[in-house]
Amino acid sequence: MPRVASGGRPPVLLIPGLMAADWAMRPLAQLLHRRGYPTVPARIGFNVGCTTELVERLEARLATTRERHGRPAVVVGWSRGGTLGKIVTLRSPQLVAALITLGSPNVNPLAVSRTVMWQLGMLRRLNAYGLRRMLGDGYITGACADSVRSLLASPFPGHIPYIAFYSKQDSVVDWRACRDPDATLVEVRASHLQLGVDPRVLRHVVDRLDALQARAAARAS
């Protein structure tokens, strides 16, 4: 895609998935740059921490981004990154211009494969051994998990566009859990690990983002 001027285009915060870091979002960041969108890395390290702590860090990141760019940011999250993105949007809608998720099980965050459940169990054990920045038991059961599920089910801000990409070929996340009734649903053909890097999917994401910006510009004129 050709590079275009960035005038009027919002910043885009990119949130990686479970056990991934900002490098995982680089292909999308590069494509967004060529389309003129300023991109903002999440800077949460590997996405293995406590949900509450990560959400607070993302909120601070969004607040700083708004101060720098003078406007709310679009949030794009892959897998668990999209779940964190929805929670941030629900908690701080004034910081978010739009939400786009890629294979994020926001209907049921635990609708995942046995492999992912094994990974979650490993992170829980590491937490129990003293690595407190890892996911604890509260992510799966208890008050923390109940709070996350309750928040995800709360009314979504009607003025914020929300687009959820999902794939029936996912195999890591149950695609039905990605069909959030709050979102505009977009089906694509890709595995879970391809959703954030497949050029065809990424072009769909940027095209949808361009369409959102065109409608916003039309309303403002």
Predicted pLDDT at 15? 98
- What is the arithmetic mean of pLDDT over 208-212? 95
Quickly state the pLDDT bin for 138 (edges 50, 70, 90).
very low
Predicted pLDDT at 89? 98
> Could you give the percent of the chain with pLDDT greater than 90?
65
Q: What is the pLDDT of residues 20-30, one digit of tens each?
A: 899 999 999 99
**84 near 77, Cβ under 8 Å?**
yes
Residues ≥6 apart with Cβ < 8 Å to 8: 213, 217
What is the b/e burial string over 182-195, where b = at least 16 CB atoms within 10 angstroms of the residue's CB? Answer: bbeebebebebbbb
- What is the arithmetic mean of pLDDT over 49-72? 92
Candidate CATH numbers 3.20.20.70, 3.40.225.10, 3.40.50.1820, 3.50.30.40; the one for domain 12-220: 3.40.50.1820
Q: pTM of the prediction?
A: 0.86
The residue with greater pLDDT, 177 or 49, is 177
- What is the arithmetic mean of pLDDT over 185-212? 96
